[in-house]
């Protein structure tokens, strides 16, 4: 392991072991790479991502917290919350026979309490890099009043060609279709296929999702706990061109499967209580 400057001098922990390579930035506690030994890269990052201390990193695994998408009442608040814009504290990093376990901390301060979410909290983010990628976001209410938050591990996966990809695990699940004005729909029994912009919040689901990628001859499995929402997203042509930190022609090579608690699944915490949401990602042959 090596802690030092990454892109644009942002502090980064680079990991190289017999089990594979990975990297995570302290800016946002943002995982930007994971590649098990003998495998193609699993995590996707845009070549146009700005890696600027005042902006989120495009790709990897952004942590959306304590709200998802736009703030419900404050248009000036940052999209997807403040956690992905803050410097997290690297509390520990241990190499256990090639499996690296990293722990980050984020607590409230004057800045967070002024950002339309005036609550006292501690967030602990534990990431395990090895044959699998494990992520656990634990949020504790350290104040004296209840609080409610949304959280998403907004994982960008590298795929061979989005037009050929299928996703299983969400059959017969209701979802909100953002592309169609948040119309409530129900998924069919067939694998999800991609033929245009896709932005869906799947509701009341704890299911494991699997990406089937024939071009890269692999499947990526996302197993989760403590999560009742799953977001599936690909911007397609026009949305990709509209984003300044996303290459115009990059959209065919990525897909987001996001472990989440959003909308009706937002988490309410009483004082002195906590909630943990996890995602474990594995890769196998197709």
Enumerate the β-bridge partners of residue 218: 213, 285
Q: How far apart are the first and last CA of the chain?
A: 31
Active site residues: 154, 258
Can you state the percent helix, strand and coil of the chain, rounding each to 5? 10, 50, 40
CA–CA gap between residue 209 and residue 26 (Å, rounded): 28
The three-class DSSP label of residue 187 is: coil
In the DSSP assignment, the letter for residue 155 is P
Contact yes or no for 246/234 (Cβ under 8 A): no
In 228-273, beta strands by DSSP E: 229-234, 254-261, 267-269
Instruction: Give the number of other CB atoms < 10 A from CB of residue 168.
Output: 17
Phi, psi angle pair for 265, to nearest 5°: -90, 10
Q: Are 177 and 187 in contact (CB under 8 A)?
A: no
Element (H, E) at 237: helix 236-242
Nearest to 63 by CA among 111, 114, 121, 124: 124
């Amino acid at each position: 392991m090596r802690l030092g400057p990454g892109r644009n001098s942002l502090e980064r922990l680079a990991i190289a072991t017999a089990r594979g390579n990975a990297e995570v930035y302290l800016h946002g506690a943002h995982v930007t790479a994971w590649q098990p030994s003998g495998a193609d890269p699993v995590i996707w990052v845009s070549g146009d991502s700005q890696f600027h201390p005042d902006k989120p990193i495009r790709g990897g695994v952004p942590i959306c917290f304590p709200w998802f998408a736009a703030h419900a009442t404050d248009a000036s608040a940052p999209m997807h919350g403040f956690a992905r814009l803050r410097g997290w504290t690297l509390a520990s990093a241990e190499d256990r026979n090639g499996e690296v376990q990293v722990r980050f901390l984020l607590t409230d301060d004057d800045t967070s309490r002024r950002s339309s979410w005036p609550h006292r909290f501690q967030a602990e983010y534990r990431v395990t890099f090895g044959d699998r990628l494990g992520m656990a976001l634990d949020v504790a209410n350290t104040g004296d009043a209840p609080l409610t938050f949304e959280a998403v591990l907004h994982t960008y996966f590298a795929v061979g060609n989005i037009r050929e990809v299928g996703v299983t695990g969400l059959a017969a699940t209701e979802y909100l279709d953002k592309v169609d004005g948040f119309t409530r729909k129900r998924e069919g029994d067939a694998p999800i296929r991609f033929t245009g912009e896709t932005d869906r919040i799947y509701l009341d689901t704890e299911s494991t999702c699997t990406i089937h990628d024939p071009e890269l001859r692999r499947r990526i499995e996302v197993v989760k706990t403590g999560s009742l929402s799953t977001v599936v997203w690909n911007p397609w042509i026009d949305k990709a061109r509209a984003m300044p930190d996303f290459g115009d022609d990059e959209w065919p090579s990525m897909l987001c499967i996001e472990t989440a608690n959003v909308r009706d699944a937002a988490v309410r915490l009483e004082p002195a209580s906590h909630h943990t949401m996890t995602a474990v990602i594995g890769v196998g042959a197709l």
